[in-house]
Chains A and B, each alone.
Chain A
Amino acid sequence: MIVSPRTSRFKLFVTRITSLAMVCSLTLLIAPPANAQKRGSSSISSKLTQLVNQRSNIRVLSAFIEVVDTPSKSTVEILRDNKRQAIGTIVDADGLILTKASQVNLVMLKGELAPLVCKLANNDRHEAKIVSINKEYDLALLKIDVKRLDPIRFTLQEDPMVGAVLASTALGDKPLGIGVMSAASRTIKQSRPMIGVQLKDIVDGARVESIVSGSAAKKAKLKIGDVIVKIDMKQIKDTQTLISTIKEYQPGDIIRLLVKRGEEQLELLCTLGEYSSGPNQARHEFQNHLGGKLSSRRSGFPMVFQHDTFLNPEDCGGPLVDLDGNAVGINIARAGRVASYAIPAKVLPELIAKLMLDAESSEVSTSSE
């Protein structure tokens, strides 16, 4: 119950300022202290927006230039239509790049998707292909046709100690963000996927009765009265089939809905959200979203550790390094207002090896066809 959801920033500051005034006057009433207002009188809101003392201000980030010098050469930006989708980590000199799968693996209903492009530290751009995916960890392996890249150096240590100072690398000379190790590696349970509709059984499917605001259904432009006929390849007979079908997916998955709207049949793409129930959880979710967007896939990881670097969803997929410039993990999700998750270095070699094997075997099967 940190703050009521409706308290806007502005309102909050106003109340704080008034309460400050109130307490000061009270203090004066009780016993006039020597210095009732000892420090500067500029308003709290202006102080919060001032960058000068923030932990990630430019002067602090500049101290990390030496730290990220080497690992930033192993970092790429992954673009589509010139817009950054994610950060990538070079894991192989011959053009293999690791990134967050759900940020780059999109589907389109019609037409061609613009190709993925990797922008390297030297500003070169290369078209990239997804060669394999690990759904469990939401990792994708990309291939670009370039040789002699600088692969990232992973640390050999166990997880960083709680309190370790960490930097997330970017293409520039300064890090994308900095933070500390917040909590040791653990399993993050899969939260249930949610589409966000209330349904009613009708003769030949499930009819949408209401749509939760801000939900996956809303974003997919589903409308009240639509009858959901099919999800991907699965025929939807009734509400029950729809619920059990959705349960087989993960939040962040994109599903293809076949919908009957009046006489029309249309296809919609819908990115599943995370399930939240009851006002308490809804409030927590609300607070979690204060301060920035979260990754659509942010739960269900077999092993991740938590750090407090402020990241955007499109900042995930890149290296997270310690003060020696060695990668301690790969950022995999912006999970909440206070939490970013990283896959620890200790599990990465095995995951990378597996992704490479998968890439190879799929290549073999396509070439033998």
Chain B
Amino acid sequence: MDGGLLFFFQLLVSGVAVGCLYALVALGFVLILKATDILNFAQGEVIMISAFICYFLVTTLHLPFLVAVLITCAAAGLMGILTERLVLRPMLGEPVFAVVMVTIGLSIFLRSMTGILFGHNNLVFPSPFPKETVKMGGIILSQTQIWIMISTLALIIAFFLFFKYSRMGLAMRGTADDQNVAQLMGISVKRVFAMIWAVSFVSAAVAGIFLANVMVINLGLSFVAVSAFPAIILGGLESIPGAIIGGLAIGIIENLAGGYLDQIIGGGVKDVTPFVVLFLILMVRPYGLFGKKEIERV
């Protein structure tokens, strides 16, 4: 392969790795959105807090990585249930604006509390993955990137099976479809909501742990969730496959734009590209690739 093409493929593949993380984050958003019609702006803080918890477990308590991951996921799930019970349930039936603002309030509250508890320093996660890079047909990948792709794939398959075959997954799909009917069928909608928040937070926690391996851990980690907004919009707000494809697409676009445009405009293109894309999607096709076009009835 010649240099130019190789450069393109290198950007493409590392874009997929970033996109996988976006997909996980987007998945967390979409799960809540689909079932409860709430866009949780505090998702980024969950990512960040999970990264901090995992760091704390591994460095201070010297737990093995896998155990730390499991405990972090459990903590995130518990946090999800608590959030739903204490913050969101009193807001049932309130206008969209109020609910959005409650989650924004929650997000800045959590972020500053994390700052107070864990400090503002940049922490470096002791990576459990070997440092050696893997070379495949000229494309260089780090082991972390490969693990990110594998785990995301595994999680997505697990989610798919959960929604398809488990009783709770079926209840969740039913609730997302029509809350009243689900209630009539004997599904406890309250419990389903709490479980959905838990599942969504766990998905965010996994993304957080991997992000901690790729980036430094600091309060800025929560910003990743904001970069995942374009992914959910691109996928169409309420579609789970859409979130995954949207996440991958945004990762790839961001990396390609960063790779090619940074030399022309100057640094930082990577960080704004998702937002420019978001703005464009909203202008052209607000309901995304897989979302249903909203028809308003009066």
Indicate, yes or no, whether A interacts with B.
no
Residues of B within 8 A of A (CB): none
